[in-house]
Amino acid sequence: MRVVFMGTPDFSVPTLTEIVSSGHEVVAVYTRAPKPAGRGQEERKSPVHLAAEAFGIPVFTPRSLKGEAEQIVFASHEADVAIVVAYGLLLPKPILDAPALGCLNLHGSLLPRWRGAAPIQRAIMAGDTQTGVMVMQMDEGLDTGPVAIGEVMPIGPDMTAGELHDTMMRTGADLMGRALAALERGSLDFTPQPETGAVYARKIEKAEARIDWSRPAAEVHNHIRGLSPFPGAWFELELAGKPVRIKALRSTLAQGTGAPGTLLDGLTIACGTGAVRLTQLQREGKGAMDTATFLRGAGALPPTVR
């Protein structure tokens, strides 16, 4: 089939690769425009942009698809279907209607739970024990279209958002490959989403990254792993008389009680109820390190963290 692919981050690349390797004709790739990055603020192309160039596929980077000119260009590709994986731009109705068979989206949750921008992080932060990835037909709503196929996957008790992301992008690529094969055969069926159980995964805000040690240990643990590795849940620790911001990248539930924020043993920290043990951290300006390495370089620790 003639395919337009629309995606931006690393998460999208395996699906693009799967589509190309399956023999479909990817006639155009749409991705977010390059952004200044790094110390030199040089414009950096998205992972999908780089992958498309490696495949020799024409790349389009409009800043919006609301204008008539961009919509005419999109329609000129005469695609059978558009595949959308974490693209990052709103698709207005003329774009949704342009491909003969519509637009298929790969979404990282068990819809209708966790519609929206941050389904991977929100599922872990909520303490969900399972999630999934689904292929849905896009409509004008926010992840409200009918679902074709999906895969359920467990969320381990210490699993981070980064680990779930990597598992999901591989599973999702295979799932979209199967969906396209069924669509080509005319056997891809869609089922409307139930409205019961709909939950929205709002975007992660910087302000919510700071750890609140007054919360129960299970909630603190879920908060840490749900924001790992990015943006990273953080707290302050006084080292050599100065407050230092520390990102908590991995943790596990631990035994112990005390006032919230009390250091009980090494980096086991009391919460509102129970405690968590930090197993991987990142000090400002440093790389990630395990607890033993951190403690060797930290010197004397204060009695509490903030």
Mean pLDDT of 164-191: 97
Mean pLDDT of 22-46: 90
C-alpha 42/C-alpha 118 separation (Å) is 27
pLDDT tens column, 196-230: 999 999 999 999 999 999 999 999 999 999 999 99
| 8 A C-beta contact, residue 12 and residue 48 | yes
Residue 243 tokens read as 């407050």
Q: How many CA atoms lie within 13 Å of 36's alpha carbon, on the beta-carbon side?
A: 3
- Band of the pLDDT at 241, cuts 50, 70, 90? confident
- Band of the pLDDT at 298, cuts 50, 70, 90? confident
- Band of the pLDDT at 240, cuts 50, 70, 90? confident
CA distances 74 to 97, 99, 272, Å, are 11, 9, 54
Mean pLDDT of 2-18: 98
Q: 47-55 and 13-21 helices cross at what angle (nearest 10)?
A: 20
Instruction: Please determine, for residue 284, whether its predicted confidence score (pLDDT) is greater than 90.
Output: no
C-alpha 256/C-alpha 32 separation (Å) is 47
pLDDT computed for residue 162 by the predictor: 97
Helix (H, G, I), strand (E, B) or coil at 281: strand
